Amino acid sequence: MHRRILVSTTVLGLGVVVTLWTIHTWTRTAPTETPLERTAPPIRSATSTGSDSPPPQVRVHERDDPGRSPLADPLGATDGTIAGDMRVLEDVLSNYRLALGANPWGANAEIVAQLSGSNRRAHAPLPADHHAIDSEGRLLDRWGTPFFFHALDARTMEVRSAGPDRELYTPDDVVHTPGADRRPD
């Protein structure tokens, strides 16, 4: 009887030690308040509108990053092109997926809100005060028309610009599908 109590007490004590060690280890490796930067895997687009140059490396800017993310700065630049804008959006969406595991969802303004930090990690690869966001919170293309976002799945987002005629689904639309040929994780 005495031996059973001794064995039970020893097993219970070891369980407590292992639990405390696990909690201590977990809290030491949990995310901290310091900025986290990671490099995303290269991304290639199946419907690329750009050149054959290698894709840019994507960096994640966490909420505690003291500066705003520069990732979207070239979007809508006067010396840029719609193809360049699509590559910027590809980077922004890829960055978001890297941090949150899936595409943002909803209509343009909802997607913009999520890309601007209204998400569970307050991750903001698209600054909320970006010049391409209108007063209704929608992201506009370089002709002033809201981009059309269509999530094909959790990791693939088709982005459509209405083009110069400002009408969606006409021949001058520019369509880009970031992450279309990514391998599933």
Tokens 């639990």, residue? 19
- Tell me the CA end-to-end span of the chain in Å, nearest whole number: 53
Closest-CA residue to 100 (of 76, 78, 82, 118): 118
Q: At what angle do helices 108-115 and 82-100 cross, to 10 degrees?
A: 60
Residues 169-184, mean pLDDT to the nearest whole number: 74
Residue 60 has pLDDT above 80, yes or no: no
Task: Report DSSP letters for 113-168, one per residue.
Answer: HHHTT-STT---SS-TT-TTB-TTSPBB-TTS-B-EEEEEETTEEEEEE-TTTT-T
Bridge partners, residue 176, by sequence: 159
Tens of pLDDT, residues 112-155: 999 999 999 999 999 999 999 999 999 999 999 999 999 988 88
- Express as a percent the part of the chain with pLDDT over 70: 68
Distance (Å, rounded) from C-alpha 92 to C-alpha 147? Answer: 14
Please write the tens of the pLDDT for every residue from 87-119: 999 999 999 999 999 999 999 999 999 999 999
